[in-house]
Amino acid sequence: MQQNIEVKDKAPDSVGKPVKIQPAKGSTQHAPTDRIYVRDVKGRVETARRLLGFALMALFLLLPWLTYQGEQAILLNILDQRFRIFGLTLWPQDLTILAWIFMVSAFALFLVTTLWGRVWCGFTCPQTTWTFIFMWFERKIEGSRHQRMKLDQRPMDADKAMRKVLKHVAWLLVALLTALTFVGYFTDIRQLFGEFFLLQSGAWATGSVIFFTLATYGNAGWMREIMCTHICPYARFQSAMFDKDTFIVAYDEKRGEPRGPRGRKQDPRALGLGDCIDCNLCVQVCPTGIDIRNGLQYECINCGACIDACDNVMEKMGYPKKLISFTTERRLEGGKTKVFRLKSVGYGAALLVLTALLVLDILFRVPLELDVVRDRNTLFRENQQGFIENVYQLRIINKSQQADTFRIEVSGLDEIDYMGPTELRIEGGEVYTVPVTVAIDPYFLDASLIEIRFTVSSVSDSEVERTTQSNFLSTR
């Protein structure tokens, strides 16, 4: 919707001075530096969003405290390069599984966006969830939208200072709890909480907690809608996934226009008006400060606050609800929404294929890794029996979370003298390095470079086995 901009003429004595350009009267656009005072709203969409946000917040706070088989159930240990997710332990060698997880997540987001627009932003995005939590504390401490506006306009006094300090203390406490929980996904959370408050945590843990505390405090307390409208890239490329059948938050212009105030008992048709009474409540409850009546805008995060505000007004006026609703462009034009279309079917098929590949990769994953490294200091040597010896380092990783006993075997020639342990017991998630020596009678050597194979297999499970090839060097 095009808006006119009023430009004031410069006075003769103002040459060289900056001229402030004012937006047209009635404009609802906000500059990045403007403060948006969001009005509280109640309704079915807000209730659903709060319940979902509460469930996701509880899940975020509780997951790192869960234990599985005596250990932290979810621990993304970057320093040890080991991710433990309940019964699954991922190592750097399992990069394909992480790649599948990222691709499944990406296509799931594409499919959801194609079908239901930016519901991720409005209902599940951490930025949105924490912003609404911070706004809740703001309302409880400083009051309603009108009270907050009056509080900011009046000079500083004891009451204003107390409310401001209390609000920022509440924000910082929420941010600190968020940071401690988030860092707890990457280190032992019980140890982290105990050591942090006793000032005994390490430099990396302390620095990470402070950084994420300030980041949460800044993003949800100060930046808020700026993160959504100017920083987050999702709003920029979402239009590539939108079409006429994508569900969006939209205003029914045919029914609502022309808008204008009227009495509750007046017939809008007799006044030549639509159902919109131009109360601007849809703008006041919007966390990004836009007017949904101007059409679809990239700043809209589909939180549905304007839907509840408008439905409440329609109910009081005795008009049908859903003047603003979750709908599609095709439905607003009088057509029928098509759920199964080329774009949605394509994203859905890709999601199913990638999910199947992820499941297969996990099911057929062997929880054992074997690396063989030859001793580079001594290529080969001759022992007292006249046999040629090569020294190797076997690096065995038990990628499961249970201890197991593994058998070591060497093959490649009929006559091989293996010197080293034949069985090893390795704890779950342990990396075990063992030196071994392979000796061969020169009579059986017909080349200077012979391929041999090291095999490590589980004693308890014959399907858990790894074979790695290496070279045996000699004088021949």
Express each pLDDT in 117-138 by its tens digit.
889 999 999 999 999 999 999 9
User: Which candidate, 246, 220, 375, places its Cα nearest to that of 302?
Assistant: 246
Residue 431 CB-density burial (10 A; 0-12 exposed, 13-18 middle, 19+ buried) = middle
Element spanning 74, H or E? strand 74-77
The pLDDT, as a whole number, for residue 208 is 95
Domains of the chain: 243-332 (no CATH), 368-473 (2.60.40.10)
Sign, CA dihedral 187-359-97-94, equals positive
**pLDDT for the residue 476:** 66
pLDDT tens for each residue of 165-181 = 999 999 999 999 999 99
In this prediction the pTM is 0.81
Query: What is the dihedral sign for C-alpha 429, 430, 431, 436?
Result: negative
SS3 423: strand
Q: What's CA 127's distance to the chain center, in Å?
A: 10
Note down pLDDT in tens along the chain; length 476 residues. Answer: 444 444 444 344 433 333 333 333 444 455 545 688 999 999 999 999 999 999 999 999 999 999 988 889 999 988 888 888 887 888 888 888 889 999 999 999 999 999 998 899 999 999 999 999 999 999 999 999 999 999 999 999 999 999 999 999 999 999 999 999 999 999 999 999 999 999 999 999 999 999 999 999 999 999 998 888 888 888 777 778 888 999 999 999 999 999 999 999 899 999 999 999 999 999 999 999 999 999 888 889 999 999 999 999 999 999 999 999 999 999 998 899 998 999 999 999 999 999 999 999 988 888 899 999 988 777 888 888 889 899 999 999 998 888 899 999 999 887 889 999 999 999 888 889 999 999 998 888 888 888 999 999 999 888 899 999 999 988 76
Q: List, in sequence order, the alpha helices (H) in 217-252.
A: 225-226, 234-237
For the stretch 344-402, pLDDT in tens is 999 999 999 999 999 999 888 888 999 999 887 778 888 888 898 999 999 999 988 88
CA distance 239 to 56: 27
pLDDT at 182: 97
- Would you say 81 and 91 are in contact if contact means Cβ atoms under 8 Å apart? yes
Please give the pLDDT value at position 233: 84
Beta strands in 322-441 (DSSP E): 324-327, 368-374, 381-382, 388-398, 404-411, 417-419, 423-426, 431-440
Contacts of residue 306, defined as CB under 8 A and 6 or more positions apart, other chains included, come to 249, 281, 282, 283, 285, 286, 292, 324
Q: In DSSP terms, which residues pair with 75 in a beta bridge?
A: 84
